[in-house]
Amino acid sequence: MDEFMRNQNESAQPAGPDWSNKNKASEPVREIHHHHYDRRGGMGRFFLGFLIIILGLALLAQNTGWFGSLDVWGFFARLWPVFIILAGLSMLSRGGWVGGVITLVAILLIVGLIAAAFLSAPEREAEIQTFNIARGEGVKVAEVSVSFGAGTLKMQGGSSSLVSGQLESSFAELKSSSQVDGDTQYVNLETDGNFRGVYRKNQNDLAVDLNSDVPTNIDIDSGASDLNIDLSSVKVTEFTVDTGASSLDLILGDKAANASVSVDAGASSINITLPRSLGARLNAEGGLSSRNFQDFRSLGDGRYESENYASAAKKVEINIDAGVSSLNVGWK
């Protein structure tokens, strides 16, 4: 009886609170505000992205020749302090309105300095530098390397020396060197100069005359240039050119029994003229917009062969790798 009354009393008592649910309900609600994270470094990322876009546009301008003698890498090499400024702006962007004012002032200063570098450079008159490199004793082969920025490069035979010519430029200087190793003479011609402003009329013309009797290998590395190369009287055995957005007019001769030509170019216009006595094989790669190969037959896979190749005593191998370009190969 006592046990029955005890069970009745326990069942009549009101249910106690559910402390486990109460604890769960009292837990604070945590919200993740993504904008706090997005704002961190946002200004720095903005300026870094802006700088990358400007660099890309400048490189495009250099390759297409829009800015004439623009030396993009040399220009941005002088702007490395901008990265330090970007790091500071990234921290200031979290500092409220004071940081915003400082950031705005810094933006105006950066834009002003870059504009001044592009537009306010003093204009210079073109100066002429001549060079004359004699043929070394016992030299039987010449290796000629030319490193040239934006401008006009003319090359031809007829020099009484091994290599001679002149540079007429309003901003660049010519550095030349020569070294004899055994029966080979190595000649290096390099133009070096600072960009003098976007809207200035800059002149940069290099003329190179080669010896017509010495077998010569030629290597040209140029920017956005006009290349006028007449090797009809030169005993050229190997010709290599690496250029940006340029126009290339190349005339070959038949003074060497076998020759090779390699052209690596950007958006360019390429015209190659061959003598009828020369047999030619051609390998054309890249996104060529137009091809005009006179008296060539296709071998497939971008390979072509002149109709007289099998019977020709002298031959040339031509390899073209170009971007959006027009390529014309004809005869004289």
Q: What is the mean pLDDT of the chain?
A: 79
The Cα 43–Cα 315 span in angstroms is: 61
Q: In the chain, where do the E strands start and end?
A: 127-133, 141-148, 151-157, 163-169, 172-181, 184-193, 204-210, 216-222, 225-231, 236-242, 247-252, 258-265, 269-274, 278-285, 290-293, 296-300, 303-306, 314-322, 326-331
Tens digits of residue pLDDT in 91-124: 655 556 666 676 677 777 777 766 666 555 556 6
Q: Decide if 274 contacts 249 (C-beta within 8 A).
A: no
pLDDT(65) > 60 = no
- Considering only residues 7 and 59, tell me which one the structure prediction assigns the higher pLDDT: 59
Residue 77 has pLDDT above 70, yes or no: no
Give the global pTM.
0.67
- Give the pLDDT band of residue 32 (cuts 50, 70, 90): very low
Q: Which of 7-11, 32-36, 87-91, 136-140 has the lowest mean pLDDT?
A: 32-36
**More reliable by pLDDT, 182 or 74:** 182
Q: Are 142 and 208 in contact (CB under 8 A)?
A: no
CA–CA–CA angle 210, 236, 299 (5° rounding): 145
From CA 43, how far away is CA 220, in angstroms rounded? 43
Q: Which two tokens stand for residue 85?
A: 């400024």
CB half-sphere exposure, 266, CA atoms < 13 A:
17
Residue 120: count of CB within 10 angstroms of its CB: 8
Answer whether residue 76 shows pLDDT above 70.
Answer: no
